[in-house]
Structure 1
Amino acid sequence: MTPNGAEHHCNSTHDHMTSVLPPVVIIEMLLGLPGNIMALYVFCKDMPSWGTNVTFLFNLILSDFLLLLSLPFRIDNYLRDDRWIFGDAWCRINLFMLAVNRSASIAFMTAVAFDRYFKVVHPHHKINYMTLKQAAGVACLIWAVVVALRIPLLANNLLNTDNNDSHCRSFTSDKDLSPGILLHYHVFIIEFFVPLMLLIFCSGRITCTLRSRQLNKGKRGQRAIRTVLVIVGVFILCFTPSIATVLTTQILKSLGETYCNAYKITAQLFSMSIAFTYLNSALDPVIYCFSSSLFCNHLKKTLNRTGLIKLQLSRQGSMTSRTELGVMMSNGD
C-alpha cells in the first residue's frame, strides 16, 4: 500500500523500500510466526477457562495469522523491486488480508483495553458478567464490521501498470478515486485516531482509579496498569509512522509539483513505515503475557516442558480481597 506519485510528473521511487524492507519484514515474520503459534497452542490446549479477555486475545491471534499468511507475497514483491507477479485477483485478496489484519488488530487491542477498563473502573457493571457466548458474539460482530469496511478492496482494481511493470498498491495518486477506495482511505485514518483516544482514556482512568483506591502498588493493580500501557505503546509504535506519513503525502499531493521533492521523500518514508505495521504481529504476544496472568503461567509451563528453560510461575490467587479490584481478574485474567 504505497502512494504512486503526486502527479504524473512527480512519481515517487521505491529504491530504499526494495533494499531495506525485505530483510526487515523477513525478520518480523520469523519473530511473529513462532510467537503466535505458541500463543495459539497455549490458548487451545492449556487454558483452563475462557472469558472475555481470553476471547479477545484469541481473536487478536487470528488477525495476526492473516498478516503472516500475506507476508511471503509482500516479501516476494519487495525482492522483485516492487513488481507484483501474482495477478490482479491475488493482489486484491492480499491487500484485503493486510488491511483486515490492521483493522482487526486495532479493534481487538481496543477491546482488551476496554475489558480491563470496565473491570477496574466499573467493577459491578453488567459488562463484567458477560458470558463466553456473548463475548464470542462481540468478537463476531467486530469481524463482521472489519470485513465489511474492507470489502471495497476486493471490488476495485488495485494492480497498476507502470513501464510494463505491475504494482500492487492500495494507495494511489489518482485524483478520481472510487467510493470504495475513498472509504478505504477514511477507515485507515479513523481507525487510528478514534482507538488511540479510547486507549489513552482507558489507561488514564485505570491509573487514576487504582491510585485513588491505593491499589496501584499491588501486583494485580500494576498488571492492570501495565496491560493498557503496553497496548498503547504497541499501538503508537506500530501504527503512528504509517498514519503520519500517509497524511503528509496526501497533503503534499494536493499542493502540486511545487513540493515534488518533499513528496518523493515522504512517499519513501511511508513505504518504510509499513515495516512498523508488520511489527505488530511480532509484538502482540507481549500483550498476551501482560493481559492474562493465566496465559503467562501456562506459557511458562509449556516452555518448561521442553526442558530447555526453567521459568518460575507467578502465584495465583494472591489478591488480598476480591472486593479490592471487583471482578477485575475474572473471566480468565
Structure 2
Amino acid sequence: MLSHNVTMSLNSTRPGGVGGCPPVGIQLEGVVLPPVLTVDVVLGLLGNVVALWIFCVKLKSWNPNTLFLFNLVIADFMALVSLPLRIDALLRGHWVFGDGLCRINLFLMFSNRTASIALMTVVAVYRYFKVVHPHHRLNRLTKRQAVFVSASVWALVVAPRVPMLAYSHIKLPGNRTQCFFFTSYKEASRAIIILVSMHRILTVLEFAVPMLILLFCSVRIFSFLKQRQMGRPEKVRKAMRVCVAIVVVFVVCFLPTTVTTVGIWVIKSYRPWDCASFYTFTQLNIVSLGLNFLNSALDPVVYVFSSSMFRRALCGSLPRALRCKRDRDHHDKTASSSGSQSTTQQELKSIRADEGSEAN
C-alpha cells in the first residue's frame, strides 16, 4: 500500500530539503478505508464462498470458461485473506504483525489486482471467440490447455510482484510501526526506487491494455448479436446492458487507482515543489484501493453473467420458489440430460443460449 506517513504538507509549496516534503501520518485513508474494506470483505466472502461451493460441489463437469472463472475465485480469496490485517492496521494506526506478514500482505494485495484484471481479460477474450468466431480453433480448447493458459497467466501475474517479498516494507515513523510498499516522497534505496517505478508502470499498463481489449470484445460481441437478433430487439438491449455493465465495473474498480498513480508520477517528475498536490493525489490513491477490492465482491456477478453452466447450477441450488420462471423451466427440462453431454457440447449450448442475454 502507499505510504501512510506521506511526506508532504497541504500548505507547503517548496521541497522539504533532501527528505522531500514534511511527513504526515494516516489521514483520509484512516477514516474512509476501514468501513469500505470491511464491506468489500463481507460481500466478497459471501459471494465467493457460494461461488466456490458451486464450482466444487454443484458443477459435475468443467469447461475452459469454468476453469478461468474458478481461477478468478482464487484471485479474490488472495485479497479477502489479506484485507483483515490491513483493516486492523488502519484502525490501530500502526502495524503489529511483523515484517514477514507485512511482505506477504502487500504481495497478496497487489497480486490480486493484477490477477483479477488478467483473468477477466482472458474470460472476455474467450467469450469473444465463442460468440463471434464459433469455428475458431480456440473454441476447441481442452481442459488441459486451459490449465496451461491459467498457469501462464499466474506466472505473468506473480513474477513482477515476487521482488516485493525480498525487501522489508516496515517503517518506523516515530514510535508507530507501519507496513507499506511506497516509502515517503523520496525513496531510500535504488532497489526500492526500481520496485516503485515498476509498480507504477504495471498499474497503468495492466489497466490500459486490458481495458482496450475489453472494449473491443464488448463492441464486437454487441455488433454480432445485433446482426443475429434483428427481429428480437429486447435481446440486443440485454446484450448491450451486459457490455456496458462490465465496462462500468472495470472502470469504477480500477480507473481511480490508475489515474491517481499517473498523477503522483507527473507531480514528482514535473512539479517536485508542489507538496500539497502530491499529498492530495497520494491520499486519493490510497483511498482508491478500496474500490480495487470492491472487484472481489462484484466478481460473483461476473460468474453469473459469463457462464450459463454456473448460473443454472446456482439456480438449481435455490428453492424452486426463488427461481425465475425461465430458469425453473430450463432447469427441469435439462436436469436429466445434462450429465450425458460432453464439456464442449455444454459450452456451445450455453453460449448460444446466452448470446442475447449474458446478464440475465
What is the TM-score when the length of structure 1 is the normalising length?
A: 0.88
State the distance in 1 between where 2:161 and 2:108 align.
9
Q: Which residue of 1 aligns with 2:163?
A: 152
Match of 2:199 in 1: 184
Q: How far apart, in 2, do the equivalents of 1:285 and 1:118 lie?
A: 22
* SS of residue paired to 2:273: helix
Of the candidates 81, 95, 103, which is equivalent to residue 92 of structure 1?
103
- Kindly report which structure 2 residues correspond to 1:93-112, keeping only aligned pairs within 5 A, or say none: 93-112=104-123
Q: Check the 8 A contact 2:82/2:109 in 1, yes or no.
A: yes
* Structure 2: distance between partners of 1:266 and 1:244: 9
Contact kept? 2:229, 2:236, Cα under 8 Å: no
| Cα RMSD (Å) | 2.7
2:319 alignment counterpart = 304
Q: Deviation at 1:20?
A: 2.0
Q: Check if 1:75 corresponds to 2:87.
A: yes
- The offset of 1:222, in angstroms, is 6.4
Residue of structure 2 in register with 1:329 after alignment: 350
Q: What residue is the counterpart of 1:123 in the other structure?
A: 134
Structure 1 segment 22-61 matched on structure 2, within 5 A: 22-61=34-73
Is the CA contact (8 Å cut-off) linking 2:36 and 2:290 kept in structure 1? yes
Q: Is the 8 A contact 2:113 2:292 kept in 1?
A: yes
Which position in structure 2 is the counterpart of 1:321? none
Range moving further from structure 2, 143-152 or 294-303: 294-303
**Matching of residue 250 in structure 1 with residue 250 in structure 2:** no
Shift of 1:272: 1.1
Cα distance, 1:294 vs structure 2: 2.1
Q: Which has the larger radius of gyration?
A: 2
- What's the CA shift for 1:48? 3.2
Matches within 5 A, 1:166-181: 166-172=177-183, 173-175=185-187, 176-178=189-191, 179-181=194-196
Measure how far apart 1:202 and its partner are: 0.7
Distance of 1:2 and 1:332 partners within structure 2: 45
Are residues 59 and 148 of structure 1, via their aligned partners in 2, closer, same or farther at CA, if it must alter by over 3 Å?
same
Provide the residue aligned with 1:165 in structure 2. Answer: 176
> Retained in 2: the 8 A contact 1:60–1:104?
yes
Question: Quick one: distance in 1 between partners of 2:352 and 2:151?
Answer: 18
| Contact 2:96-2:177 within 8 A present in 1 as well | yes
Tell me how far apart the structure 1 counterparts of residues 57 and 353 of structure 2 sit (CA, whole Å). Answer: 15
Q: Quote the Cα distance in structure 2 between the aligned partners of 1:62 and 1:332.
A: 27
The CA distance in 2 between the partners of 1:238 and 1:216, in whole Å, is 36
Aligned partner of 1:139: which letter? S
Alignment counterpart, residue 147 of structure 2, candidates 136, 142, 150: 136
Q: Against the structure 1 CA distance between its residues 162 and 244, is the aligned structure 2 distance closer, same or farther, given a 3 Å change threshold?
A: same
Instruction: Note the C-alpha offset of 1:204.
Output: 1.1
Q: Is 1:269 aligned to residue 281 of structure 2?
A: no
CA contact under 8 A between 2:78 and 2:109: conserved in structure 1?
Answer: yes
Asked if 1 retains the 8 angstrom alpha-carbon contact of 2:309 and 2:350, the reply is: no
C-alpha distance in 2 between matches for 1:135 and 1:20: 40
The Cα shift of 1:182 comes to 2.9
Q: Whole-Å Cα distance in 2 between the matches of residues 216 and 63 of structure 1?
A: 40
What runs of 5+ residues in structure 1 fail to find an aligned partner? 319-325
Amino acid at match of 2:315: K
Q: Who is 1:260 aligned against?
A: 275
Partners of 2:234 and 2:62 in 1: CA distance: 22
- 1:290/1:245 Cα in 2 relative to 1: closer, same or farther (>3 Å)? same
Cα separation, partners in 2 of 1:44 and 1:227, compared to 1, 3 Å: farther
Unaligned runs of 5+ in 2: 9-18, 334-346, 355-360
Write out aligned runs for 1:199-238 (5 A).
199-214=214-229, 217=232, 226-238=241-253
Q: What SS class does the counterpart of residue 350 from structure 2 fall into? A: coil
Distance 1:135 1:282, change over 3 A: same
Aligned partners of 1:37 and 1:102: how far apart in 2?
Answer: 19
Counterpart secondary structure, 1:258: coil
Please give the secondary structure, in 2, of the residue aligned with 1:44. helix
Structure 2 Cα separation of the partners of residues 264 and 216 of structure 1: 55
Report if aligned partners of 1:28, 1:279 keep a CA contact under 8 Å in 2.
yes
Match of 1:322? none
Answer yes or no: is 1:240 the counterpart of 2:255. Answer: yes
Structure 1 residues 44 and 216: CA distance shift in structure 2, 3 A: farther
Q: What do the CA deviations read for 1:143-194 (whole angstroms, capped 9, x no partner)?
A: 1111112101111222222113222112233345423443233222211111
Partner of 1:281: 296
Query: 1:266 and 1:328 mapped to 2: Cα distance?
Result: 48
Measured against aligned partners, the alpha-carbon deviations of 1:67-88 in whole angstroms (never above 9, x if no partner) come to: 111011000111012x111111
**Segment drifting more, 49-58 vs 173-182:** 173-182
